[in-house]
Structure 1
Amino acid sequence: MNSNMPGLPPRGWQAQILPKLSQIAAGDERIRELRVHGSANDLVSGTDVWSDLDLLLVSEAPILVAEDFARHIEDFFAPSFASQRSCAANKYVVRLVLPDLRRLDITVMPSIGCEVVPQFDAAAEDVEDTVTELVNSFRFDAVLAAVKAARGDMLIGAHLALQLARHALVVAMLIRDREAGTNHHRLGGTRWDAWAVRLASAPSPYTREGITAAIREYIDALDELLLLTHRAHDFGSTNQPLLNLLAAIDAHNADAPGR
């Protein structure tokens, strides 16, 4: 793509944001090094608007440094629209999607082990907090699915789009458990089974257009489910960045050669 698109960050944002990120890193004495890697490594020639910015930090405190670095980014720019965290034997990764759809992958390492970060527990007492984690996962996967569709990667795009249905079904399961007062269900036949049928009506996410259409359908279904929780107001209109992305991708697909 050679021009900026409404709903997406401007071309070259990766290079534009880097000085501020370098400043944040310089202010933390625990960070020994910060460098760009991955698809945005060649910032001179520029990267397209679909690319994220991969950062590698070196520190003896991977988890603390990664979380503090991410918090400083959100303090300066804006709270993230979605995020993801992962841990391996020699690295800790925080992936942020900012509200303007700039995506940052922050990897902190050296070659030492780090503790495993606890994941959400489907049996947790606070259903609404667990739903919050699921909504975050839904949004993160939806952004990645949409970007894969924009780039014509049907394999991963379809996989991620189908994952959105799973997130929505887990939300429905949690609400059903709360209503029933148990997470043990020997038989179906309740009104909650209708959600499987509801999600089955979504378009098949196996083409570019199918992926964006399916994402919209899954968003609508998730919004309906959130109305059944006590924290629906927390999620109100905050899907707008994702909707902006879908609109930009649909416009991009319509202008693609051969369309």
Structure 2
Amino acid sequence: MTGTPHHGLPEPGWQQPAAKTLREIAARDPRIRDLRVHGSASADGSDVDLWSDLDLVLTTDHHPAQVAKEFAGSALSRLGPLFTASREATANGYGLRLVLVDLRRIDVTVLANSNSRDPGAAAPAADPLAELVEAFRFDGVLAAVKAARGDVLIGSHLALQLARHLLVAAMILRDRQSGTTHHRHGGTVWDTWAERLAAAPIPYTRAGISAAIRFHNEQLDRLLAEQAPHLAGGNQPLHILLDAVDAHAPVRPQGPV
């Protein structure tokens, strides 16, 4: 395993050895025509810190989603288990944003070559609740990373998104319980989940972002423990990241804002 974690966090400079491993994986896959490293990790690495992700762009003559998922599976077998992920299909490609359990972040974009004629197989239907839990964890990690870097603007935006994820989870579970997506009236026990969010810390400071993430994560775990226990727990990587954010407040820039 490359870039092994240090006190629960990735070691500085983890991007370069990880990129080497991923190039080796791509070289053994005849469907992948090219792999390029983008972003900060593509230069000499002088401005790359442990919070920086590793951006990869792959080109294929085959179906991008299939290639992306299988490439990610091979990557995880070499680099370590997955904590959460974000997925996005586009007109000419497929993106996978991976967060490993040691909080290394790897963004994989697979683009279809213009000569590609492979339509690929249709993706199986996913559990919307499981997808939402992944989205919650992913946004929680990004919000914490922004807080670690002192970016209160984007960190606050992402922390506020967690409340929306939690409410959508409650709506999905309410629909499943009632057997319908049509609800003419409220006033049910499910409304209490919205009321609980009134106690959420305001995420408009670095410390507030961290506190808001912790609060919403605790509320989501309670909801899942009651209604979908198979999806509850497993958030230790996020807690480790938040502990690091709280222990090492970023240096704020001097001068007028």
- SS of aligned partner of 2:58: strand
1:250 lines up with 2:246 in the alignment: yes
> What RMSD, in angstroms, separates the aligned Cα atoms of the two structures?
2.5
Q: Structure 2: which 5+ residue stretches go unaligned?
A: none
C-alpha distance in structure 1 between counterparts of 2:88 and 2:128, whole Å:
18
Q: CA deviation at 1:119?
A: 10
After TM superposition, the structure 1 = structure 2 runs for residues 27-46 of structure 1, keeping only pairs within 5 Å, are 27-45=28-46
C-alpha distance in structure 2 between counterparts of 1:176 and 1:110, whole Å:
40
Partner letter of residue 100 of structure 1?
Answer: D
Who is 1:50 aligned against?
51
Who is 1:71 aligned against?
73
Partner letter of residue 169 of structure 1?
Answer: L
Write the deviation string for residues 147-173 of structure 1: whole angstroms up to 9, x where unpaired.
Answer: 111222222211211111111111111
Partner letter of residue 32 of structure 2?
Answer: I
Partner letter of residue 194 of structure 1?
Answer: T
C-alpha change, 1:143 and 1:60, in structure 2 (3 Å) is: same
Matched-pair contact (CA < 8 Å) for 1:148–1:154: yes
Q: CA deviation at 1:247?
A: 0.6
C-alpha distance in structure 2 between counterparts of 1:178 and 1:86, whole Å:
26
C-alpha change, 1:196 and 1:234, in structure 2 (3 Å) is: closer
- SS of aligned partner of 1:184: coil
Aligned length: 246
- SS of aligned partner of 1:81: strand
Q: CA deviation at 1:107?
A: 1.1
C-alpha change, 1:133 and 1:90, in structure 2 (3 Å) is: same
C-alpha distance in structure 1 between counterparts of 2:149 and 2:103, whole Å:
16
- SS of aligned partner of 1:186: coil
Q: Structure 1: which 5+ residue stretches go unaligned?
A: 122-128
C-alpha distance in structure 1 between counterparts of 2:46 and 2:20, whole Å:
17
Q: CA deviation at 1:256?
A: 3.1
Percent identical among aligned pairs is: 55
TM-score (normalised: structure 1): 0.86
Matched-pair contact (CA < 8 Å) for 2:57–2:108: yes
Matched-pair contact (CA < 8 Å) for 1:175–1:229: yes
C-alpha distance in structure 2 between counterparts of 1:184 and 1:211, whole Å:
34
C-alpha distance in structure 1 between counterparts of 2:216 and 2:147, whole Å:
16
Partner letter of residue 38 of structure 2?
Answer: H
Matched-pair contact (CA < 8 Å) for 1:204–1:211: yes
Q: CA deviation at 1:197?
A: 1.5
Matched-pair contact (CA < 8 Å) for 1:12–1:46: no
C-alpha distance in structure 1 between counterparts of 2:112 and 2:186, whole Å:
49
Who is 1:227 aligned against?
225
After TM superposition, the structure 1 = structure 2 runs for residues 89-238 of structure 1, keeping only pairs within 5 Å, are 89-110=91-112, 112=114, 129-230=127-228, 232-236=229-233, 238=234
Partner letter of residue 89 of structure 1?
Answer: A
C-alpha change, 1:157 and 1:49, in structure 2 (3 Å) is: same
Q: CA deviation at 1:91?
A: 2.6
1:60 lines up with 2:67 in the alignment: no
